[in-house]
Structure 1
Amino acid sequence: MDEPLSPTSGRSELWALPRRAVVVVLAVEASAVALVVAGSATPPPGAIGLAVFLTVLSVVHTELATGIERIRRRAAQTAYFDLSSVWTFAAALLLPPMLAAAVIAAVYVHLWQRVWRPAKVPLHRHVYTTATVVLAANAAHAVVQGAGGLPTAAADLGGVAGIALAVLLYVLVNAVLVAVVIVLTSERPGLRDIFGGWDDNAVEIATICMGALAAVALGSTPGLVALVLPPILVLHRAVLVRQLEEVASTDAKTGLLNAAAWQVQGTRIVRRVHRSRGTAAVLILDLDHFKLVNDSYGHLAGDEVLAAVATELRNSVREQDIVGRFGGEEFVVLLPDLAPGPDGNTEMRTIAERLRKRVAELVVPVGTPDGDLSISGLSISVGGAAVPNDGTTLEQVLNAADASLYAAKRDGRNLVRFAGPVEIPGPRSGN
């Protein structure tokens, strides 16, 4: 289940969050408690034993995967997805809301002790995540009960449809509730920051589907549920490998792709554009007079400026654009899938100018030995080149964009210049 890990919500106390976020968090937690209380009733025979069995399975699962999960949690960049949903979703389908909530609480208390607290995750985040899972489980339970319960035969299409709808609703309720808090505690987050990547969500859905299979097995042949553990542990390791690969391709200071990873993706996209006779562009951006920032405020403040610029660039481009850090104060953006001809040139101009203006408007709060202060008056010079007009390989286009960048520097900085006839006049102020 996903945990809100937005970069600006890393403060340890709930009351340090924005007021709107605090209101949402408390409202969601109160709603979860109210639903559990309202649904309390005498459990059916065997339900308590089943709840205990699911809790034991979850504890065994967590203990076997603790080392992997701690590494994954530390490596997570935005929303973090654990794989405990296999048991919480099974509880949602099999148990009345009060007992399902008890299983969920037990699962997350154990996760807190073994994974989240050692990773120094704020307690209020974990409590909120538990509340969202309780609400998602209630929604899934209501859907399955409305469809007549779990399927009992191959021809029970209503029961199968009920489980499918329960999976969808479980994912949707949890994702929306987590997304709301991330939006309220972050400045202009991207879709990946809010909802996680496609691969993350695919893992979450696969885990919940395994929970559905576990529930069906428990309803008919309980011993078969032990077969869920081996594939879920293999899935843990597969997700860890993918996550570590992602970390290895990321620049530590900015969270952008590093130069090597950007070039791998860029080469692949340029080849695709060339084969399809499409249009793309490369922008190289260099922070003007960045050495003055380091000399005046220190290298730690300089790192905060780089991170702020990186965030601004990532939030100011299109979803499909690839942003990376080339080293030092230099960034690079690949713009695939541009319109052919003049429309593509116009799109290049628009994006490049937008990036230049956004950086010029940045105010970066930093801590220094002399106290907290804000750094403003930043500017970037931008050089660009197009595929295939200025080259058919990534190296050729980078060379052309680099020459354009030096033209922007030579003409006074805080300017955008493109190779060939696509040249943009711009202001010379703020150099």
Structure 2
Amino acid sequence: MPRRGVTRWAVWTLPAPVLAVLLVVELLAAVTTASSIPQGLTQLPHDWALVMAVLIGAGILSTEASLGVERMRHRSDESPHIDLSSVWTFAAAALLPGAAASAVVLGIYAHLYARVWRGGIPPHRAIFSTATVVLAVQAASAVTGLVDRDALFKSFPGLALVVAAVLAYAAVNMVLVVAVIVLSGPNRDLATFLHVLTRGDEAVLEFATLSMGALAAGAMGALGPAYAVLVLPPLIVLHRTVLVRQLEEAASVDGKTGLLNAAAWHVRAARALRRAERTADHAGLLVLDLDHFKLVNDRYGHLVGDHVLAAVAAAVRAEVRDDDLVGRFGGEEFVVLLPSTDGDDGRIAAVTVAERIRGRVAGIRVEVPDADGTVVVDDLTVSIGGASFPADGADLSQLLEVADTAMYAAKRAGRNTVRMGLHAVPSGAVRPAPRRHHS
């Protein structure tokens, strides 16, 4: 390939920390695989060729059987996600030494790239994904290799090693993938890393897939390689179940920020307020508007603006609880519902959260690589208006009206400030909610 073509590869546009991680991981995968070959030759089971062929074939068959599902998953969500092939790659790690298990990974992922990823995923990302799985397989194989593999599924110590191998596989694969995701984003801190790493659905799916891989390995080891075929039907069903969940999530999530979109937020917030009314609880509602965001778009372009929105969304999400509802209302406006806040009808807690968000946004520094170097956006501020339930409104629409008007009061006060409740709203601008008394 001409030298000029190499310099135009998309991989060179990645931020330096991301590029460094990619190269190190790929080098480690190559080195560990090569170094495991001599020892692996002495540990190969007698039917190693059949086991490898069955695992690669099963991986190909499961991909082909779910080809439409996998392609739809990639179209509906371009972010990295669990592809379920770890059923077969973990089984390889449990049954084979590291070098042979890595060969199974290469066979399965070469087919996955050719049939699903090609044209939709850059080659450097496919190579990195394969390298992380190779390292995960090497780690899991090292654990299961501590005992004779024939006895691995026939004793409690063997079961403990299988569980340890599952944890080793998940730790290596998930930590490396999440590290690159975080380094590619605007917030490169430990809190963001831990938040992405512990996302419930992806972690649960990963462990479910690895558990199926352990069961497949156990059946193949005890009864023969042909029993891998019994894993295919439930795996295909799992593919379709994951797609339904992913489509449901895509329909409720804002693509630029990962927050709830306006429609989904309205539905969930209204449900939360009805629950608060039944239990006589308080709640707080915040409306946030990024100050002078149009200047960012005009000066740097909408691509940089999208990175800024994602950074602000991450900052807001980091300052609220897991069960608080955070949404994007479009443009540069965000909304937060804080159920069951305590003290002063929810005002104190809401103001405290709003001030934390305001301070965190002011500290954001967004770096976006472009053709001329790196664009740096900082000095961001946000104006926040708030309302409390039931003091400022009897339903969601009234709370939004009060909070939105309070937010504009914060704008008039000079921006980068917080205004809360009806006392921040000009007289007559909002109809006060009727006071209700709970026994």
CA contact 2:273–2:283 (8 Å) conserved in 1: yes
CA contact 1:279–1:388 (8 Å) conserved in 2: yes
Q: Aligned equivalents of 1:375 and 1:238: distance in 2?
A: 41
Summarize the alignment of residues 328-347 of structure 1 with structure 2, pairs less than 5 Å apart: 328-338=331-341, 340-341=342-343, 345-347=347-349
Q: Aligned equivalents of 2:184 and 2:300: distance in 1?
A: 27
CA RMSD of aligned residues (A): 3.6
Letter in 2 for 1:80: H
Q: Aligned equivalents of 1:321 and 1:20: distance in 2?
A: 36
Identity value in percent: 48
Letter in 1 for 2:137: A
Deviation of 1:31 after TM superposition, in Å, equals 4.7
Deviation of 1:311 after TM superposition, in Å, equals 4.1
| Paired residue total | 411
Summarize the alignment of residues 26-425 of structure 1 with structure 2, pairs less than 5 Å apart: 26=26, 28-37=28-37, 39-42=39-42, 43-76=44-77, 78-123=79-124, 125-146=125-146, 148-149=148-149, 156-188=155-187, 190-191=192-193, 194-195=196-197, 197-219=199-221, 220-288=223-291, 290=293, 305-338=308-341, 340-341=342-343, 345-360=347-362, 378-391=380-393, 393-420=395-422
1:12 is paired with a residue whose SS is: helix
CA contact 2:216–2:228 (8 Å) conserved in 1: yes
CA contact 2:282–2:345 (8 Å) conserved in 1: no
Give structure 2 stretches of 5+ with no counterpart: 1-8, 426-439
Distance change in 2, residues 1:393/1:21 (3 Å): same
Deviation of 1:84 after TM superposition, in Å, equals 0.4
CA contact 1:61–1:229 (8 Å) conserved in 2: yes
Deviation of 1:165 after TM superposition, in Å, equals 2.6
Q: Aligned equivalents of 2:345 and 2:35: distance in 1?
A: 54
Q: Aligned equivalents of 2:201 and 2:177: distance in 1?
A: 18
Q: Aligned equivalents of 2:305 and 2:183: distance in 1?
A: 27
Deviation of 1:418 after TM superposition, in Å, equals 0.6
Between 68-77 and 85-94, the greater mean CA deviation after superposition: 68-77
Letter in 2 for 1:175: M
Q: Aligned equivalents of 1:96 and 1:175: distance in 2?
A: 22
Between 49-58 and 299-308, the greater mean CA deviation after superposition: 299-308
CA contact 1:14–1:22 (8 Å) conserved in 2: no
Deviations 1:133-167 (CA, angstroms, capped at 9, x unpaired)? 223223323333435536688x7333333323322
Deviation of 1:407 after TM superposition, in Å, equals 2.7
CA contact 1:147–1:158 (8 Å) conserved in 2: no
Q: Aligned equivalents of 2:369 and 2:148: distance in 1?
A: 59
CA contact 1:70–1:119 (8 Å) conserved in 2: no
Deviation of 1:182 after TM superposition, in Å, equals 3.4
Q: Aligned equivalents of 1:14 and 1:289: distance in 2?
A: 28
Give TM-score scaled by structure 1 length. Answer: 0.81
Deviation of 1:336 after TM superposition, in Å, equals 3.5
Distance change in 2, residues 1:303/1:167 (3 Å): closer
Report the counterpart of residue 426 of structure 1 in structure 2.
Answer: none
Q: Aligned equivalents of 2:35 and 2:185: distance in 1?
A: 29
Give TM-score scaled by structure 2 length. Answer: 0.80
Letter in 1 for 2:266: Q
